[in-house]
Structures are given as C-alpha cells and as structure tokens.
Structure 1
C-alpha cells in the first residue's frame, strides 16, 4: 500500500510527487515534441493547434491508464501558467501603443463587448455562470489559455465545462481560418485591414498567425500585434474575475454563517488571490521586455520555451476533450459559442473600419 505523502519527510514527499506526475508529464512532453516537429515541417500549421488535436486524438482513439492523469492535469494548469508568464516577453507596450488610439480602443471594445454579449447570451440560454464565463474568456481574449487561466481563478467544479470551452475554441477558431479571409474579400477589405480584423476577432494566437501568414508579412505583423494587445488584457480581466469570485465566496460564507450561526465552517472554499501569481509574472515579463534591456537572443530563447510549454499544456488540455462529453452537453454551448464569435467578429470589424 503506498505511503501517505503527508506522513513522509519533505524530500521523500517531493520524490513521491514527481513519480506521480512523471507518466502524464512525460506524455505531455512527447505530445509537445510531436506538435513542434509537425509545426517545423509544416510552417503554415501552428504547433499549438496541432498539440490540441493530437491530445484529442490520443484521448479518443486510445485508452489512457489512470496513472497519466495527475501529470496531464499538472501540465494543463501549472505548465500552462509558466507558458503564459513567458508570453509576456513577446509583448512590448510601445509596439502596442504604436498601433494607434483607434486600434487600441477596438481591442478594448472587442474584449468588453465580447464578454458582455456572451454573458447575456449565456443567461438567456440558461447555461451555468461558470460555463458562460469560460466561453466568454476564451472567445474574447486568447482561446484555450484564457479558458484555463479563468478556471485557475474560479476553480470550476465541473471539469466538463472547461473541456467544452476548450473544444469550442478549437472548433470555432479553426472555422474562422478560412471564413474570415473569405468574408474580408467579400467586404472589399485590404490585406492590412484583414490582418487587423483577424487579430481583433480570432480566438487563438495560433489561429491568428495562420490567417495572417496566408495574407503576407504586413498583414501577419498587424494581426499578431493586435492579438497580443488582446492577450495583454488577460491580466486586468483575471484581476476583475478574481475580485468578483472573492465577493461570491464571501457572500456565500456570510449566508452560511447566518444560517448555521457558525462562520468557521471547514468546508468553505478558500478565497482566490486578488492578483493570481502567474498574472503578476506575466506583467513583470511585459514590463521587463518594454524596458528594452532584454537581449533578442533571450527573447528568442524564451519564445521557444514558451511554445514548448504551451504545446505541452495544449496537448494536456486536448486529452480532456472526450467526444462523448461534447455530445452530452447538447446544443446550447455551441449556440453560445456561435453568438460569441459573431459578437467579437462584428465588434472587431466595426473598429477596423472606423480606425481606417
């Protein structure tokens, strides 16, 4: 019978924890390596999207042993946060402000309108508040990474909601790769405008790169900069959600205390930090890069490490997408995802046209 980690010496407990995580973490590392390799062979294909798809295939075409689950869960949460922190080194505040007031306001409007419209539609569709919030974050900010970041703050009790949100990001974001350029051509947008629209409207950074890369270097640069501006808003949004979550938990504790006359219940959920640690790390990396003192060699190395970490996390998230679960959730999350996509895309297009 395995020893209880709480009764082991600290060093032994750490070794036991590493042994517990090793199988799943190793599988995530293999998935990330395969995804990065495919991405290197096919430059137009994003390693992060490949990682999610590989994870989905592994989960649904093979039977994974229970021993890999702890490591996969670790990769999907903690490795992802490390990747988000390193993502901050790719952001320079001066470059984002250089987009112009109109584009910056468009980015803020996309996130604000995207959240508001999704939360309202989720209420009308009678979806849970957590499911709606996860979809709103993924579709308004930066896809699966935002979904997982919000999950880390609100600590979703139903993992199916997280899995569903990630699956919807993959499905709808991938559909936008051919759909947005076709719509832009029909509307008579220039390549530069199409790149700006993609950055303002498409869910994943990788999906934005796929669209921008098909249009040319100028469109790709504009698309990525606008998308990274949306990624930057992940930090303040996480802070707002953390404050909101603390209020919800405190209200629940007050209600419980009033009902039971016992404010010290052991099973009360802990309060999330006002500012999650990984968000502080992300902001610190943005500030550091914006000083101009970070050598490009370090930035390039961080970009490679970030891709590897996020690919491992995306693979782990992909293994959480069970097709049986997606079928079971019904049509309402898909309807919400479609409405959220339309709201974000319409806001982004309006902003791009006004900023022109």
Structure 2
C-alpha cells in the first residue's frame, strides 16, 4: 500500500468515527428530550387526584409507551440513546433517591420495624419467586417480579436488574417492563382494597400505617393509603415503607452474588468459559452514601426535597425509555404467570402485615 492510499484509509476511518459520534450524540439528545417530557409530565400528573395512586414512575412508563405512536423514523434515530438513558440515568436516579432515607428516623422507629420489614421482604420475595417459577415464568422475570413485589416496586425492579447479566438486552427490557406492570397493577388494586378494609379490620391509625407501608409496593401506594386516614397513619406508613426500601441494597447484592455463583456452576458443568466476576453495584453504594449524607449533613429540607425530585426525574426518564423500547406483544403472551404469582403473594403479604401490626405495634 502506498503512502497516499494509507493516508486515504486513515482519513476515511477518522471521518467514519466522527460521523458515528455525531449520530450517537444526536440519538442521545433526541432520546433525552423524549424521555424528559414523559418524566416531567408523569411527575405533574402524579400530584393530581386518582393519578397519585399510580405514581410518577409508572406514569412515565405509560407515557413512554404512548411515545411508540411517534413516527418510526424518530424512534429509530433515538434507539441507541434510549439504551444509555435506561442504563446510566437509572443508576444516577437510584443514587439520588438515597437522600429520601432518613436513617435517624429509622433508628428512632426501632429495630422492631427493621426486623418486621426484613421478615415481610424475605418471605414475600421467596414466595413470589417460587410461585412465578411454578407457574412457568423464566428465572430473570421471576426474580424481578419478586423484588418489585417485596421491596419498593419499580425502583426495586430497576435496582436489581443490573445485577442480572443478560446477552439478550431486548428480552431483559421486556422482563423489566412486565415486572413493573405487575407491581403497578397489584399495588393499585391493593391500595384501594386496604382503604376499603380499614374500617372492618379493627386497626388503629398507626397500625394501619404499618400495614400500608409494609404491604403496598410503590412509595406512592403507601402514601395514598396512609394519607387517607390522617398524619399518624401517613407517618407510620412512610417509616415502614422506608424500612423496606433500605433493604434494596443488601437484597441486590445477595441476588447478584447468587446469580453469578449459579452461572459459574453452569459454565463448569458445560465446560464453557467462566462468566464474568460479580459486577460491583457502585450505584447501590452511592445509594447508601447519599442516605448517610442526607441524614447527618445539615442540609435544608427544601434542598433535600429538590434532590429527591431530581431522582424521580432521572428514574422517570429511565422508565420512559423502557416504555419506548419494548415490544409489548411479546409481554402480553408471558404475563399470566407473574400476575398470578404476584396476586397470591400480595394477598399473603397483606395478611402477614395485619397480623404483625396487631402483635408488635
């Protein structure tokens, strides 16, 4: 090859690289605008009556689904940017969400509250996973549904998902959205059910708050149910719910460890290459760090609320990106197993929390 030909090839590669960078940048900003519209709209809608039961994150997901009605050319141009938003923005949102956790309030509530939350989370997680598998759901979908149903809804699904490595990203996105749909539907149904049952359960306002915070999936669900019966019920619901939220980090770590351990066993049995080492969930470390900073630094309530709102903006963008990207025809074919499992386990969790609220609170 002559010097002239060599220079031509180098220039060609350089120009192709520049063009690729321009395309990716354009795709990212287009995706960012589309998902930001969904996220902000979801936050405003969540402040309205009735919509507040659904919650900002699930509303952003539904609005993302609505974005599938935009021209196919726009969706194609934004596709690569959607992957970045659903991945990186998700992690950043979870880190900022840590500012919602006040560790002093949890400590003041006592070890009893944490222990009750641990029993509720672990038993519901195992039951949901076992039932999902029994009903025919694939492993990854069963894990995500179990985490969303037992910990904190959509945020738990998205927090645990990065620990489950998958070669089929499209399938993984379908599983994420289906798991979020399950916790949204079940959480909404059980919110209305618990509000209706409160007069006949013989629970004090504080006890009902414990039941709502310990059994409902999204924070929005717990707030809607607890707030229906006054400040005492609302405060108890929030403390109980946050006691479950704080378990997200250890649960994700344990699931990631068990998942990789199983992959190693399978690879040895099949004489295949050894899977990657356990991915370090740095964003969960950030989640714990921000909860510590929010608790012990002299930050104003307004500033902390702004950080939490920013967290919901980023999480809402990630949820909208999922809604835009997923093939829902496939999801509807596979949803029966996890919906059935979640219905049974949600009923179990409600009964368990009613019993524990009367025994310990």
Q: Is the structural similarity TM-score above 0.5?
A: yes
Residue number among 276, 294, 306 corresponding to 1:270 in the alignment: 276
Structure 1 SS opposite 2:57: helix
Structure 2 CA distance for aligned equivalents of residues 128 and 86 of structure 1: 31
User: Within 5 A, what are the aligned runs for 1:243-254?
Assistant: 243-254=257-268
Aligned to 2:230: 216
2:353 equivalent to 1:339 = no
8 Å Cα contact 1:44-1:210 kept in structure 2:
no
Change (3 A) 1:222 1:342: same
Change (3 A) 1:27 1:189: same
> 4+ residue stretches of structure 1 with deviation over 4 A?
3-7, 12-16, 40-44, 61-64, 320-323
2:39 equivalent to 1:32 = yes
What is the number of equivalent residue pairs in this alignment? 342
* TM-score normalised by length of structure 2: 0.85
Q: Which has the larger displacement, 246-255 or 235-244?
A: 246-255
Aligned to 1:350: 355
**Superposed displacement of residue 174, structure 1:** 1.3
8 Å Cα contact 2:195-2:228 kept in structure 1:
no
Aligned to 1:88: 98
Aligned to 2:205: 191
Structure 2 SS opposite 1:331: helix
Give the unaligned 5+ runs of structure 1: 258-262
Aligned to 2:8: none
Residue number among 50, 67, 73 corresponding to 2:77 in the alignment: 67
8 Å Cα contact 1:83-1:307 kept in structure 2:
yes
Structure 2 SS opposite 1:329: helix
Aligned to 1:260: none
**Superposed displacement of residue 244, structure 1:** 0.9
User: Within 5 A, what are the aligned runs for 1:319-330?
Assistant: 319=324, 323-330=328-335
Change (3 A) 1:318 1:252: same
8 Å Cα contact 1:114-1:136 kept in structure 2:
yes
Residue number among 202, 226, 234 corresponding to 2:240 in the alignment: 226
Change (3 A) 1:318 1:225: farther
Structure 1 SS opposite 2:187: helix
**Superposed displacement of residue 323, structure 1:** 4.6
**Superposed displacement of residue 6, structure 1:** 12
8 Å Cα contact 2:163-2:252 kept in structure 1:
yes
After superposition, the C-alpha distances for 1:248-293 in whole angstroms (9 at most, x for unaligned) are 2222332343xxxxx6x4xx643332x4011010011112223243
**Superposed displacement of residue 119, structure 1:** 2.3
**Superposed displacement of residue 41, structure 1:** 5.3
8 Å Cα contact 2:90-2:314 kept in structure 1:
yes
* TM-score normalised by length of structure 1: 0.86
User: Within 5 A, what are the aligned runs for 1:302-321?
Assistant: 302-319=307-324
Structure 1 SS opposite 2:253: helix
Structure 2 SS opposite 1:8: helix
2:149 equivalent to 1:139 = yes
2:175 equivalent to 1:161 = yes
Change (3 A) 1:350 1:78: farther
2:146 equivalent to 1:108 = no
Q: Which has the larger displacement, 98-107 or 237-246?
A: 98-107
Change (3 A) 1:179 1:57: farther
Structure 2 CA distance for aligned equivalents of residues 90 and 137 of structure 1: 20
Structure 2 SS opposite 1:150: helix
